[in-house]
């Protein structure tokens, strides 16, 4: 089974409404029907407008950067999956290291969010990864295994097969430091082995695993060329149309 190759951009808390529309339009205009899937993870205020812009490109979609685990309720300032879906997003980024660190999102909460997203027939892009201390201690595979077990491995095989995994070495996010292509490959291969142990080779071989750690035009081709790396979750380089398009073209 050929896995889907994906270039996903995470704009984080950047670009006002006008700037976001301009960026989305430039990316849409620079793509063609032969490209692999690209996903724009935009601020919630931009989802509806950007969804309208990307409609003309069959392989360009929109993701929300987060959601609440409840379907509705008295949660002032939060955004439900139903709201996200109603304005055109098809994907939701969950478990990003910044959400884990700054907003104390733990395994149990993320499991609930995964359930809610899947229940509304949207696709989670589930982030996992280790900080520098864990990497230096050599326990990074065990650390990621715990994240997957506690937030995803309750899912049945059919549900899990809809998940996209994004491995993000936290020590390489926004630091300018990038895991070497071999480091990325080794971890992606280890994650795929964990999935195979739980769900079998067919599901593991069909799961897209993205690399998220300072992907740039200069290194994307080599990283994406690794056998178990199926694309990237791109931060800073997704904020410039020319850079993100070059990354999309890197497959």
**For residue 152, what are the domain limits?**
6-248
Distance CA 126, CA 4 (A): 16
The reply to whether 103 falls in a domain is yes
Residues identified as active-site: 96, 168
The reply to whether 1 falls in a domain is no
* 178 pLDDT above the threshold of 80: no
Confidence of residue 1 (pLDDT cuts 50, 70, 90): low
Tokens for 178?
């990038």
**CATH number reported for the structural domain that contains residue 71 in this entry:** 3.20.20.70
DSSP H or E run through 210: strand 209-211
Distance CA 129, CA 169 (A): 5
HSE value, Cβ hemisphere, 13 Å, CA-based, for 212 = 29
Q: pLDDT tens, 79-88?
A: 999 999 999 9
The rounded mean pLDDT for the chain is 95
The reply to whether 86 falls in a domain is yes
The reply to whether 81 falls in a domain is yes
Kindly report the backbone phi and psi dihedral angles of residue 59, in degrees, each rounded to the nearest multiple of 5, phi listed first: -110, 30
Asked if residue 204 lies in contact with residue 163, where contact means CB atoms within 8 angstroms, the answer is no
* 160 pLDDT above the threshold of 80: yes
Q: pLDDT tens, 27-40?
A: 999 998 778 999 99
Tokens for 198?
């739980």
**Looking at residue 34, what is its pLDDT?**
79
Confidence of residue 104 (pLDDT cuts 50, 70, 90): very high
The reply to whether 202 falls in a domain is yes
The total of structural domains in the chain comes to 1
Distance CA 208, CA 58 (A): 19
Question: Which of 93-97, 140-144, 168-172 comes out lowest in average pLDDT?
Answer: 168-172
Residue scoring higher pLDDT (194 or 1): 194
Asked if residue 84 lies in contact with residue 67, where contact means CB atoms within 8 angstroms, the answer is yes
Distance of CA 246 to the CA centre of its chain: 18
Distance CA 124, CA 225 (A): 24
């Amino acid at each position: 089974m050929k896995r889907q190759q994906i270039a996903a951009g995470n704009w984080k808390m950047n670009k006002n409404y006008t700037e976001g529309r301009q960026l989305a339009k430039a990316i849409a205009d620079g793509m063609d029907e032969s490209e692999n899937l690209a996903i724009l993870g935009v601020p919630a205020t931009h989802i509806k407008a950007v969804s309208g812009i990307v409609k003309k490109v069959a392989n360009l979609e929109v993701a929300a950067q987060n959601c609440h685990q409840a379907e509705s309720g008295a949660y002032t300032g939060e955004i439900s999956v139903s709201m996200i879906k109603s304005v055109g997003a098809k994907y939701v980024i969950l478990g990003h290291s910044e959400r884990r660190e700054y907003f104390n999102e733990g395994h149990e909460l993320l499991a609930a969010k995964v359930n809610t997203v899947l229940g509304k027939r949207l696709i989670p892009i589930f982030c996992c990864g280790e900080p520098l201390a864990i990497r230096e201690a050599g326990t990074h595979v065990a650390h990621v295994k715990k994240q997957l077990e506690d937030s995803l491995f309750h899912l049945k095989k059919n549900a899990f097969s809809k998940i996209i995994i994004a491995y993000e070495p936290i020590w390489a996010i926004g630091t300018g430091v990038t895991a070497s292509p071999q480091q990325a490959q080794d971890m992606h291969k280890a994650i795929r082995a964990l999935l195979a142990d739980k769900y079998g080779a067919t599901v593991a071989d069909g799961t897209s695993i993205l690399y998220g750690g300072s992907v740039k035009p200069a290194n994307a081709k080599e990283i994406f060329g690794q056998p178990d790396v199926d694309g990237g979750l791109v931060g800073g380089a997704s904020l410039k149309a020319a850079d993100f398009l070059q990354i999309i073209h890197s497959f």
